[in-house]
Amino acid sequence: SGTWHLTATGQTSWHGFAEAIFAEAVAAGKLARAPTVQAITTAEYPTPARRPAYSHLAVDKLESDFGIALPRWQDGLKRVIAAL
């Protein structure tokens, strides 16, 4: 028993995710070139709710308890971009 996190493996930031989306779109021929994605700090993007400086969902327990291997988030992104 317990709590398991089911998500693709790997870590990135929102900035890294945006850059990966555009890079994959260019590689797939969906965009001619990737736009510039400007990184900002948490302080530059205020939200009403306080956010931790770093957080991620770890899938180690799920993979260990159930003997499964989850795909990398980059693989899912590639499939989604290809389907567009």
Give the CA radius of gyration of the chain: 16
pLDDT 10s digits, 18-46 = 999 999 999 999 999 999 999 998 889 88
Tell me, yes or no, whether 2 lies in a domain. no
Which one, of 81, 84, 67, lies nearest residue 4 by Cα? 67
Confidence of residue 67 (pLDDT cuts 50, 70, 90): very high
Category of 32 on φ-ψ map: left (φ > 0), alpha (ψ -120 to 50) or beta: alpha
Tell me, yes or no, whether 6 lies in a domain. no
Structure pTM? Answer: 0.85
Count of beta carbons in the 10 Å neighbourhood of residue 20 = 18
Mean pLDDT to the nearest integer, 48-62: 86
The whole domain housing 25 covers 14-83
**Given this model, what pLDDT does residue 42 score?**
84
Q: How many domains does the chain have?
A: 1
